[in-house]
Every structure is written in C-alpha cells, then in structure tokens.
C-alpha cells in the first residue's frame, strides 16, 4: 500500500502563487516555540511536497526513531509503522475529510479541526493508540490546504477510528461513519458551570470533601454532579473525564 494514497487528489497542489508563499515568513519559529512548552507532539505537514516540514522530539510518538529520522521518512513513516487495517482507515479518513472540506466556504476553512485515532507500532512491537488533531495553517488562493499543523497525543479511546470534525465556536460537530463514509452531525457536549467547577478542583488535586467545602455543598451533591459528568462524557472516573474535557476544550 502506497503512502501517496494519504494525499487526496481533491487537495492536489500543482503550483503555489507568490501570494501563497508570502504567508510563511518566520512562522516555523512560532511552532518550534510552542513545541517546547507542550507535552504533546507536533507535526507540520506540507501538502505540496507531501512531506513533514517539522516534527517535534517526543519519543512516545516516533516508534523508536528520532524526529529527524521521521522527517526524512515523511509519510513513508506511516506506511511502515501503522498496521495495515489502520493505514487503510487513514486513507478512507483522508478522502472523506477532503470531501467534507471542499464543500465549506473558503472564509471558514481555517475554523475546522479533524480528530481521529489510530495505532502506531512502537519499537517494542507493542501498538500505541494515538490521536491526531489536524487543522490548516496556510491555504492557497484557491482554498486548498497547503500547510497544516497536527497535534499528536495518546488517545483517550480504546480502539481506532473515532473520527470527528469540529468547527470552533459552533454548537455542532460531525462524526464519520467509517462503514458508510457518511458524516453525521450532532450537538457538542456542554458542561454545566457546576460540572466545570468540580473538574477544575479535581485538576488542582482537591478531594471530594475539599471540593464540597469550597463550593458549599454536601459530599453527596458533589458525587451527584460527578455521576452526571461521567454520563455526559461516557467515562467511569474523574481522571478520564478530565482528559476528555481538556482534549476537547470543554474547560
């Protein structure tokens, strides 16, 4: 299977205009600075050259290679280290994502983020389930994605897939049905002010009793709000709830 299949013809970039190129002045320094202050890994993708322009140095997501080695391999990295089933899934996600994207108004295209989970075969031969969140950085004058930033982290799910497109500051998101290739819209999860408060106190290390004292409610009331939180997020404990809330900007 060829990694070139991960690059959709819908986003084929034959040439770049001078105006396209002017967008990129010194932007890479900001990406490098951001990579120094986050635990997540960062990839910069150049869709015209079909390569990585930058890969941050996070061993967890590099399958035992160095960032430089991954950059040199480019998308062949996925061809080698992603299991065949997940690699085919990535191709399907790519096609479905660009089909969704090409229908959007040009002025809105930078407002969308796609997220999905897949496995990478680590050097220890144990697969690691990771999450990619990808959004455009630069578009061509025609509205095609030229460069995009991808934030890589450990997945909070238990299996591959979980493909979601989200528009910033919107109430809807879209989930991909991998069997049919259809995007299905649903409302975003909204947390109550009390649920956010309880999550933030948990994030700061407070116990249930300490939280109840801070917000002047009983311990049973705190437990009630936790249970409602677990139901909304589909989790079984506060640590999972916090990870999902942080990853999905619910706090």
Question: How does pLDDT run across 125-140, given as a tens digit for each residue?
Answer: 788 999 999 999 999 9
In the chain, % of residues over pLDDT 90: 59
Question: How does pLDDT run across 213-242, given as a tens digit for each residue?
Answer: 988 999 999 999 999 989 888 888 998 888
Report the alpha-carbon angle 114-116-120, nearest 5: 135
Question: How does pLDDT run across 44-77, given as a tens digit for each residue?
Answer: 999 999 999 999 988 878 988 999 999 999 999 9
Instruction: Give the pairing type, strands 51-55 and 41-46.
Output: antiparallel
Q: Is the pLDDT of residue 33 over 80?
A: yes
What is the pLDDT at residue 68?
94
In the chain, % of residues over pLDDT 70: 100
Confidence of residue 249 (pLDDT cuts 50, 70, 90): confident
What is the pLDDT at residue 175?
95
CATH class of 193-247: mainly alpha
Mean pLDDT over residues 185-195, rounded? 87
What is the pLDDT at residue 42?
94
Question: How does pLDDT run across 69-97, given as a tens digit for each residue?
Answer: 999 999 999 999 999 999 999 999 999 99
Rounded alpha-carbon distances, angstroms, from residue 81 to 68, 77, 121, 124, 127 = 16, 6, 5, 12, 9
Average pLDDT, rounded, for the chain: 89
Q: Is the pLDDT of residue 163 over 90?
A: yes
Q: DSSP 3-state assignment of 249? A: coil
Mean pLDDT over residues 168-174, rounded? 87
Domain boundaries, the chain: 3-187, 193-247
Least confident of 30-34, 51-55, 168-172: 168-172
What is the pLDDT at residue 116?
96
CATH class of 3-187: alpha beta
Are 116 and 152 in contact by the 8 Å Cβ rule? The answer is: no
Rounded CA separation 250/40 (Å): 18
Are 242 and 203 in contact by the 8 Å Cβ rule? The answer is: yes
Q: 149 - beta bridge partners?
A: 44, 135
What is the pLDDT at residue 60?
79
């Amino acid at each position: 299977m060829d990694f070139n299949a991960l690059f959709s013809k819908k986003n084929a970039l034959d040439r770049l205009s001078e105006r396209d190129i002017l967008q990129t002045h010194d932007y890479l320094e900001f990406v490098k600075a951001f990579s120094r202050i986050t635990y997540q890994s960062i990839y910069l993708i150049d869709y015209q050259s079909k390569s990585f322009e930058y890969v941050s140095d996070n061993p967890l997501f590099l399958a035992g290679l160095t960032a430089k080695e991954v950059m040199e391999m480019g998308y062949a990295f996925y061809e080698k280290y992603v299991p065949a089933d997940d690699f085919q899934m990535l191709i399907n996600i790519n096609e479905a994502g660009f089909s969704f994207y090409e229908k959007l108004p040009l002025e809105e295209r930078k407002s969308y983020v796609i997220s999905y989970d897949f496995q990478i075969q680590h050097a220890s031969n144990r697969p690691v389930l990771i999450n990619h969140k990808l959004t455009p950085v630069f578009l061509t004058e025609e509205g095609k994605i030229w460069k995009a930033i991808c934030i890589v982290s450990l997945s909070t799910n238990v299996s591959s897939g979980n493909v979601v497109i989200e528009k910033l500051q919107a109430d809807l998101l879209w989930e991909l049905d991998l069997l049919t290739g259809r995007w299905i819209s649903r409302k975003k999860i909204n947390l109550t002010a009390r649920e956010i408060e309880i999550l933030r106190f948990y994030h700061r290390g407070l116990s249930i009793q300490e939280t109840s004292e801070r917000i002047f409610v009983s311990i049973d009331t705190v437990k009630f709000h936790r249970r409602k939180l677990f139901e909304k997020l589909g989790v079984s404990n506060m640590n999972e709830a916090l990870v999902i809330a942080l990853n999905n900007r619910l706090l």
